[in-house]
Structure 1
Amino acid sequence: MDMLPDVPAAVVSVKPVVLPSPGGRGEDLQVRVSAPVTGGGLPVIVFSHGFGWSMDGYAPLADHWAAHGFVVVQPTHLDSRTLGIPAEDPRTPRIWRHRIEDITCVLDGLGALEAAVPGLAGRVDHDSVAVAGHSWGAQTVSALLGARVLGADGLPGEDMSDARVKAGVLLALTGLGDDLTPFAAEHFPFMKPSFDAMTTPALVVAGDHDQSHLSTRGPDWFTDPYTHSPGDKTLLTLFGAEHSLGGIPGHQAAETTDENPARVALIQQLTTAFLRSVLRGDGSGWKAAAAALESASEPLGELRDK
């Protein structure tokens, strides 16, 4: 098992790598793969973008993770603006399921993705896999961690968890469906999750100024995935953060309403340390980062564990 670098490494990124379309999707899956140019035994992060984005988004996270020893895989989901699928497309009601199937497709195709990046073959640890996502992307990957969507009868739907996934990072994941606005309840029936079986270790990141127009609740709605899931969870609450959490979708992105480079840097540091601690059993970096946050004179957030 190789040690992950503390000093940022040079990164190679290849796109698009194309995987055959999962059933009913109608479009082959386009993926971006980024990895450090050196090192072996590299763990994997599969990242699911927020609504409308693509494999080209979230550079502040993807570039940082890759430079610090992870293979980062970013699929482009069907809702991406780059694909231009109209709202009346018959696939639209099922896009939330296609998103989850996209992540499973990536996990099934890791060997092909590894072979597509020059010099990467034989350097990937297929047993050290994490998933991460922002907003709708967090809802997507939460299913791989054990979250389930409640049906009209109030019972949990299909279990889409995946034992290959050892850890998760859930950035601005929406909460329970009890307090959806009428619009959200009508148009987004998949936004009625149960976190009761979300047993995989995960870091939940929420902004205490993230007021969603899809819920009648306040920003505490985004802490539900932590509150209502079993143990082995950590909650990072970011002070003053709105839905883009300081700008993780991209530098100067239109969606960033709360641009804060220091906040993004904290997310980079803590997510990297958390994933190293779970995937590599190296808790020293996590303990140091948590202690630094707690002792800061003007902390940017706070951590809770269970």
Structure 2
Amino acid sequence: MIRRLFLRTAALPLLASSWTAASWAQTGGASGRAADPGPGTVLQNVWRDDERQRDIPWRLRLPETRGGAGSVPLIIFSHGLGGSLDGGAEWSRAWAEAGFATLHLQHAGSDRAIWAGGLRAVKAAASVEQLVARCRDVRFAVARLLQLQQSGEAGWVRIQPDALGMSGHSFGAHTTLAVAGRAFPARLGSDLAEPRFKAFAAFSPAAGSNPDGLRTITRPMLCMTGSLDGDPLGSERSGDYRREVYAHLPPGAKAQLWLEGADHQTFGGSGEVGAGRAARLAGRGRPEAPVALADHHAAVIRTVTTDWWRAWLQGDAAAVQRLKSPQGLASGDAWAQG
């Protein structure tokens, strides 16, 4: 959400927190069913990272089994600034219908609790410290879900450990770029990237103050933005600056979806309240175009992201072919690869 997230990096101390795969513990007993509508089975609970004394709420959506084949790829979703487990809910439902599991994480310190402090608290939460904490949440979650999968835990046993994807919106897109291998100053630590992800999808990403750090990302990355995808807390109204992410990624397995008339809220996935709330706090209403085009935008995002996961997590040749020229794009929309 915040374009200038890394401008104050030099003034920020390294978080004194070490992470190990053995530092987890689950709270609340067995997984509880979440009151979340949509396809598949939805479980929700909280993990406790004892090493960091940090709770990590999670929501797992498992698709229905088909033809007796229960093993499925899994996509982690990281919410935007001021968001929650509800962020990306629309995309989660679409991916479940296509046979993918999703694991939504909620990040303390940059989740919906910050709204109680007003606009100043929201801006303060867009910090490097919070980015580091989010990345460690993701790495913790990967280790935890793989341990549950290997131990045969109900539900988790269906996850394919070699077919993991990572995605996120806004601050969650910053998180996605970081765990994908974006280069940072050494003082931020060497444990931000997560090597076990095969592919990534960044909703409303931003290059920040050091775009050259993106050149170290070599795994498949899908970037999505639009003409009105500006900074809800800044001066930018156009999403043009978000195109810098794709431009700075190295040639290869990268793609970019541009949607004319799409704003920041378009990419939040319905449940992401923070996507629109920040703009309202800043005294700005939502433009008419993204409201009028909402169905079109959502349909294209669902189709393109589903084929992206099919191509890179399942090796689906038909999806690879469709991604060469996605269907359903309208005038002003654009697609780029490589």
Q: 1:253 to 1:300 in 2, by over 3 A?
A: farther
Corresponding residue to 1:147 among 174, 177, 182? 182
Aligned: 1:235 with 2:256: yes
Runs of 4+ in 1 over 3 A off after TM superposition: 82-93, 111-119, 149-152, 156-159, 213-218, 251-254, 289-292
Check the 8 A contact 1:45/1:73 in 2, yes or no.
yes
Give the RMSD, CA atoms, in angstroms: 3.4
Aligned: 1:81 with 2:85: no
Instruction: Name the structure 2 match of 1:266.
Output: 300
Counterpart AA for 1:73: L
Check the 8 A contact 1:273/1:283 in 2, yes or no.
no
* 1:124 positional shift: 1.4
Instruction: Identify the range of structure 1 (126-135 vs 157-166) with the bigger mean alpha-carbon deviation.
Output: 157-166
Q: Secondary structure at the match of 2:137?
A: helix
Instruction: Name the structure 2 match of 1:42.
Output: 72
* 1:283 positional shift: 2.9
Counterpart AA for 2:214: F
Instruction: Name the structure 1 match of 2:168.
Output: 133
Instruction: Name the structure 2 match of 1:172.
Output: 204
Corresponding residue to 1:199 among 187, 205, 218? 218
- Share of identical aligned residues, percent? 26
Aligned: 1:244 with 2:273: no
Q: 1:141 to 1:90 in 2, by over 3 A?
A: closer
Instruction: Identify the range of structure 1 (92-101 vs 285-294) with the bigger mean alpha-carbon deviation.
Output: 285-294
Relative contact order (alpha carbons < 8 A, sep ≥ 6): 1 or 2 greater? 2
Greater share of helix: 2
* 1:200 positional shift: 1.0
- State the alpha-carbon separation in 1 of the partners of residues 324 and 275 from structure 2: 31
Check the 8 A contact 1:14/1:117 in 2, yes or no.
no
Instruction: Name the structure 1 match of 2:10.
Output: none
- State the alpha-carbon separation in 2 of the partners of residues 102 and 85 from structure 1: 23
Q: Secondary structure at the match of 2:322?
A: helix
* 1:218 positional shift: 4.7
- State the alpha-carbon separation in 2 of the partners of residues 300 and 290 from structure 1: 18
Check the 8 A contact 2:83/2:274 in 1, yes or no.
no
Check the 8 A contact 2:203/2:267 in 1, yes or no.
no
Instruction: Name the structure 1 match of 2:242.
Output: 222
- State the alpha-carbon separation in 2 of the partners of residues 80 and 281 from structure 1: 34
- State the alpha-carbon separation in 2 of the partners of residues 214 and 133 from structure 1: 20
Check the 8 A contact 1:150/1:193 in 2, yes or no.
no
Check the 8 A contact 1:12/1:35 in 2, yes or no.
yes
Runs of 5+ consecutive residues of structure 2 not aligned to the other structure: 1-37, 278-285
Check the 8 A contact 1:293/1:302 in 2, yes or no.
no
Instruction: Name the structure 1 match of 2:42.
Output: 13
Per-residue CA deviation, residues 109-144 of structure 1 (Å, 9 max, x unaligned), is: 114555999852432111111100000001012111
* 1:29 positional shift: 1.1
Aligned: 1:283 with 2:317: yes
Q: Secondary structure at the match of 1:244?
A: helix
* 1:300 positional shift: 6.5
Instruction: Name the structure 1 match of 2:133.
Output: 98
The number of residue pairs the alignment matches comes to 278
Runs of 5+ consecutive residues of structure 1 not aligned to the other structure: 1-8, 179-191
* 1:93 positional shift: 6.1
* 1:269 positional shift: 0.9
Q: Secondary structure at the match of 2:240?
A: helix
Q: Secondary structure at the match of 1:23?
A: coil
* 1:266 positional shift: 0.9
- State the alpha-carbon separation in 2 of the partners of residues 245 and 289 from structure 1: 21
Check the 8 A contact 1:60/1:251 in 2, yes or no.
no
Instruction: Identify the range of structure 1 (119-128 vs 219-228) with the bigger mean alpha-carbon deviation.
Output: 119-128
Q: Secondary structure at the match of 1:173?
A: coil
Q: 1:243 to 1:111 in 2, by over 3 A?
A: same
Check the 8 A contact 1:138/1:172 in 2, yes or no.
yes
- State the alpha-carbon separation in 1 of the partners of residues 198 and 337 from structure 2: 18
Aligned: 1:23 with 2:45: no
Per-residue CA deviation, residues 30-83 of structure 1 (Å, 9 max, x unaligned), is: 110001131322001011000111112321111111221111001110121258
Counterpart AA for 1:204: C
Counterpart AA for 1:148: A
Check the 8 A contact 1:22/1:105 in 2, yes or no.
no
> TM-score scaled by structure 2?
0.72
